[in-house]
Amino acid sequence: MKATQFQGAKNQIVIEDKGERIFQSYESIIVKIKAGKVTLGRHWNYSVTTTKYRNMFLGETTKETQAKIDSGEYVVDDNLL
């Protein structure tokens, strides 16, 4: 397992382990990518700071992320903490 600060930002962490990439903001998992499947945690759109770094991590805007949730491409898992 490898954990690094994302973009040098305090409290924004990327964890890589066994084919999974996880973006964590403070103590909440925001995004998990495994085998190309994107799962968002319940706090995926929590704050301006989280949004900024989540957008950078995914390489898209909040509007694009919401569209992918609406289409079923992305899943929001309220149990993903």
Residue type, 65: T
What range does the domain containing 35 cover?
2-77
Q: What is the pLDDT of residue 20?
A: 96
17-57, pLDDT tens digit by residue? Answer: 999 999 999 999 999 999 999 999 999 999 999 999 999 99
Which residue spans within the chain are E strands per DSSP?
2-5, 12-17, 20-25, 28-34, 37-41, 75-77
pLDDT band at 16, cuts 50/70/90?
A: very high
72 by DSSP, 3-state: which? coil
Q: The whole model's pTM is what?
A: 0.93
Domain count across the chain: 1
Q: What is the DSSP letter of 7?
A: G
